[in-house]
């Protein structure tokens, strides 16, 4: 019996010693998908400011099926700015002539990516058009043309984003309020459309002074994946802006949590 006890103690100590010397989990670089990269690489530069090791993938050239296959390896997805969302997706096909250019392939690609991210709890953020199509994918609608459909003196669009700035008011008790630490501020934007009716499960976390929605997030996250989107362009804003750096850092933090959970 004493002999068996000694053997048991040796096995236990050996196990503890092995555990104490086990290598720590590897810190792998994040894999982030970007729905469509732009020539000037503003979006990739924005994320690389806060994590230079992130591997970024341009999903636009892949085709929908290939992009969804790659999405299974991603830790986060960014839906970027661009052309108008086709209004047939939100019940306004008769207003097509009042819209700008369309990219029907991109619409289908981003719709598929958004639904995949939401269903699989992959961290998801959107910028400008990205906010709009996330809202539409979740059942919301858009204002077709702000200058003609909305009574406002605020200019939301310009060919030169460097001179296109306006105020925003942050909604209290939202995630945007928590990460920015602000009640109001200034952002740059370039859009003639905006959220009209909210998609399912969303809430507005920032407004322009004319009540145009400027940011969205989950109304109640619960067990959902991370989701935020802004009408403004954080990738064009200064690193010190409370509406740019904290947004990127939170997205990367949530992506890291997702990556560690799915190692």
Active site residue 128: yes
Q: Which strands make up the sheet holding 202-207, listed edge to edge?
A: 55-58, 31-34, 76-79, 124-127, 227-230, 213-218, 202-207, 165-170, 184-188
Catalytic residue among 156, 191, 192, 233: 233
Catalytic position from the list 110, 128, 156, 217: 128
Q: Indicate which residue of 214, 217, 235, 259 is catalytic.
A: 235
Angle between helix 64-71 and helix 104-120 axes, rounded to 10 deg:
20
CA distance 261 to 205: 28
CB 131 within 8 Å of CB 195: yes
Look up residue 89 and give its DSSP letter: G
Distance of CA 75 to the CA centre of its chain: 12
Determine how β-strand 213-218 pairs with β-strand 202-207: antiparallel
| Three-state DSSP class for residue 80 | coil
Question: Among this protein's residues, is 262 annotated catalytic?
Answer: no
Q: What is the greatest pairwise CA distance in the chain?
A: 90
Contact 247, 125 (CB under 8 A): yes
Q: Is 19 assigned a catalytic role? A: no
Would you name the residues annotated as active-site residues?
Answer: 128, 233, 235
């Amino acid at each position: 019996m004493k002999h068996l006890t000694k053997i048991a103690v040796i096995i236990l100590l050996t196990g503890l010693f092995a555990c104490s010397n086990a290598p720590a989990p590897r810190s792998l670089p994040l894999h982030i998908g970007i729905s469509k990269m732009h020539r000037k690489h503003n979006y990739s530069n924005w994320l690389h400011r806060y994590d230079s090791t992130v591997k970024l993938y341009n999903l636009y050239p892949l085709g929908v099926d290939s992009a969804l296959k790659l999405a299974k390896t991603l830790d986060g997805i960014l839906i970027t700015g661009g052309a108008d969302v086709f209004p047939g997706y939100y019940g306004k096909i008769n207003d097509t002539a009042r819209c700008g250019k369309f990219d029907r392939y991109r619409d289908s690609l981003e719709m598929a990516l958004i639904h995949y991210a939401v269903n699989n709890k992959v961290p998801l953020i959107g910028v400008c058009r990205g906010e709009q199509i996330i809202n539409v994918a979740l059942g919301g609608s858009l204002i077709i043309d702000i200058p003609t459909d909305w009574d406002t003196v605020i200019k939301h669009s310009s060919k030169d984003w460097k001179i296109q700035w306006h105020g925003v008011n942050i909604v209290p008790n939202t995630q945007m309020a928590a990460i920015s630490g602000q009640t109001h501020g200034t952002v740059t934007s370039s859009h003639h459309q905006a959220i009209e009716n909210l998609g399912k499960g969303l809430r507005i976390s920032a407004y322009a002074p004319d009540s145009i929605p400027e940011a969205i997030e989950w109304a109640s996250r619960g067990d959902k994946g991370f989701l935020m989107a802004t009408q403004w362009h954080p990738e064009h804003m200064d690193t010190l802006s409370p509406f740019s750096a904290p947004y990127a850092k939170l997205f990367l933090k949530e992506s890291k949590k997702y990556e560690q959970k799915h190692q």
